Structure 1
Amino acid sequence: MVVVVSSPALVPQEAECFNRLFEAGLDILHVRKPEAGEEVINDLLQEIDPHYYARLAWHHQHAVGEAWGMQRIHLTSVVRRQTSTAQLDRWKAAGRTISTSIHTPEEYEALPSTIDYALLGPVFPSISKPGYQSASPLRAPVRTSQVTKLIAIGGIEPHRCQAVYALGFDGIAVLGSIWQQGDPVENFKQVQEAWYIHDPS
């Protein structure tokens, strides 16, 4: 699985770029716009091909996403702790796919089974947040009864995909390596090719 996380800031012709990413084979796009209001998000959605709505996950403005029929909800670690088990169960019963952010293997073991996948990181020093890295190297913990998929995030570039796969992750999430410089779609294609060499599933 390859996940792209949007730039937190608005990007010129962003919706068109999202459409091109999906056309290039992107699995899931996480829309992370913490400072954007409802009007901005609505304008963005109007320009995204509705065919791709099922592959959009929302970090913020969950109510707006649900109003547009979105099926994927992402919870920050803070919001996850504030969300009741009953609410998680209601989302699952409604057919939602739920993801969350975690920062330690210990958090992973404590996740409820209603969480479909978790972004664990930063696995490598972050590209989008210079100086942000884990105190110790992160690797996927040994799975026992936990069924939640683990997605590596943080410093993921094409040349690191082999190492990420060897660390036991189910997929990768990329942000800085996509949006920092150059054409986002071409950057994505390089990451996509590097990942699926090691994980053809």
Structure 2
Amino acid sequence: MLVVISSPVPMPREAECFNRLFEAGLEVLHVRKPKAGAGVFRDLLQGIDLRYYGRLTWHQHHAEGETWGMQRIHLPSIVRQQTPSAQLDRWKALGKTISTSIHSPEEYRTLSSAIDYALLGPVFPSISKPGYRSTAPLEAPARASQTTKRIAIGGLDPYRCEAVYNLGFDGIAALGSIWQQGDPVQNFKQLQEAWYIHAR
């Protein structure tokens, strides 16, 4: 599984770029803009091809996302902790895909079975947040009886894909390596090629 997380700030012709990423084979795009109002999300949706709506994951404005028929919801760690299990069950009954953010293998073991996948990191020093790093590369937590997929995030570029795969993760999520320099679509293609050499 390969996830791309949007730039936290608006970018020129962003919806068009999202469409190009999906055309290039992107499975899941997390729309994360913590300082943006619901209007920013509406404007983005109007520019994204309807056929890709099922691949969009909402980080904020979940109620707004539901009115647009979004089927994927992401819960930042603090939001997940404040979300009643009954709400998680309601989303699952509606066929939603639910993801969350975690920061340690121990936190993984506390997750509800309703969570489909968890972004765990930073696995390596972050590209998008200089100075944000783990003390050592995080290994994927043992799954035991849990079915929640473990997705690595933090410092991921094509050169680290093999290491991440060997650490036991089910997928990767990228932000800085996609958006910080060069063409995002070309950056994605390089990451996609590097990851799937090992994951397939």
- TM-score after normalising by structure 1: 0.98
Report what 2:91 is aligned to.
91
- 1:13 has 2:13 as partner: yes
- Tell me the SS of whatever aligns to 2:66: helix
Q: Which amino acid aligns with 2:61?
A: Q
Q: Structure 1 vs Structure 2: percent identity of aligned residues?
A: 74
Q: Which amino acid aligns with 1:176?
A: G
- 1:115 has 2:137 as partner: no
Report what 2:77 is aligned to.
77
Deviations 1:124-149 (A, max 9, x none): 00000000011333110222111100
Give the number of equivalent residue pairs: 200
- Measured in 2, the distance between the counterparts of 1:29 and 1:80 equals 19
- 1:172 has 2:192 as partner: no
- Tell me the SS of whatever aligns to 2:54: helix
**Aligned pairs (5 A) from 1:4-153:** 4-153=4-153
- Tell me the SS of whatever aligns to 1:66: helix
Q: Which amino acid aligns with 1:68?
A: W
Deviations 1:3-23 (A, max 9, x none): 000000001000000000000
| 4+ long deviations beyond 6 Å | none
* Deviation, structure 1 residue 71: 0.2
Deviations 1:69-88 (A, max 9, x none): 00000000000000000000
* Aligned-pair Cα RMSD in Å: 0.6
- Measured in 2, the distance between the counterparts of 1:65 and 1:52 equals 14
* Deviation, structure 1 residue 102: 0.2
Q: Which amino acid aligns with 1:181?
A: Q
